[in-house]
Amino acid sequence: MKRLLQSAALIACAGAACVHAAEDNSWHFSIGAMYEIENIEGQADDKDGLYEPSVWFNASLGDWSMTMTMYQEGAADYSNFTRGTYFNRPELDVRYQFYESDTAVFGFTSGVRNYGYHFKNDDGSNNGTANTQRYKFMPDYFLKINDSWSFSGWLAYYRFINDLAQTGYSDSRVETETGFTWRINETFSLQTNYYLERGFNTDSDKNNGEFSTQEMRIYLPIALGSTTLTPYTRLGLDRWTNWDWSEDIDREDHDYNRLGLLYAYDFNNGLSMSLEYAYEWEHHNDAADDKFHYAGIGVNYAF
């Protein structure tokens, strides 16, 4: 999963947040936790879906910031509360903001994340482990065009190593979300972004875990004092996968669209929280159609 609660909120306010951080050279900290869950209606083979709890700690000083996050991601069987993996997916990111002015902000993040897996046989017995490391290199940017318009986004390159045959990952991946924000007034804004995630292998003889996802992501943040409501949609432009490369080399095409709502509340004492729900309808060229649900809850304390 993608820490969707944070992504929607942070992308909408990244420029302003970066500017304020650069103006203050004292230490700032935050701690938080999030619980995300994904479900497909009628899903049976892998029980009820996926869930990902996470906890994080962030420290920033001047142009530097560091975030440490611990994830657990895996299949959830709600009938007996078993977990597909343990809480063993740490991530460390370090960001340096190398330029800031009244009209532009540029930063660069590097980081590493471990993907841990504990495989099981059909009878529930252990069947080995795998650990894949992902290295991240990501510039981000914010450009103020005028008082109403701005352009912002990020572009990440990931490199995966170790146990790729067991985990099914390709060795490389690019991901980006970028677009324009129109500040209509103090209450309403409209943000339209292009999103791309593409998994590929640098070795032409390999095709494990390759995929492509392209979307238009449209947000409508509504600021109501301490409350921000953000209806959003994801319009699928193109998606294909070949996760079954070992048995079927043909790519599977998908058609999908999503509607969601993010609710965020600032208690104005360092504490903030967010709730999110999204519904997605999916069509697969070699499988039945799906109805997909996402929900998440997060809390953060800054000091």
Query: Domain locations in the chain?
Result: 4-302
Question: Among residues of the chain, what percentage have pLDDT more than 70?
Answer: 80
User: Percentages helix, strand, coil for the chain, rounded to the nearest 5?
Assistant: 10, 65, 25
What's the mean pLDDT in 272-301?
Answer: 89
Q: pLDDT (tens digit, 9 = 90+) per residue, 69-116?
A: 998 866 555 455 455 556 778 999 999 999 999 999 999 999 999 988
Residue 115, helix vs strand vs coil: strand
Q: pLDDT (tens digit, 9 = 90+) per residue, 221-266?
A: 999 999 999 999 999 999 998 766 555 566 788 888 999 999 999 9
Cα 278 from Cα 107, distance rounded (Å): 30
The answer to whether 302 touches 284, Cβ cutoff 8 Å, is no
Cα 71 from Cα 131, distance rounded (Å): 14
Token pair recorded at residue 174: 């690019």
Q: What angle do CA 68, 214, 40 make, to 5 degrees?
A: 75
Cα 112 from Cα 90, distance rounded (Å): 8
Q: Is the pLDDT of residue 20 over 50?
A: no
Cα 34 from Cα 247, distance rounded (Å): 36
C-alpha neighbours within 13 Å on the C-beta side of residue 237: 11
What's the mean pLDDT in 171-193?
Answer: 97
Q: What is the pTM of this model?
A: 0.86
Q: Is 123 exposed, middle or buried (0-12, 13-18, 19+ CB in 10 A)?
A: exposed
Topology adopted by domain 4-302: Porin (2.40.160)
Cα 292 from Cα 43, distance rounded (Å): 10
C-alpha neighbours within 13 Å on the C-beta side of residue 117: 18
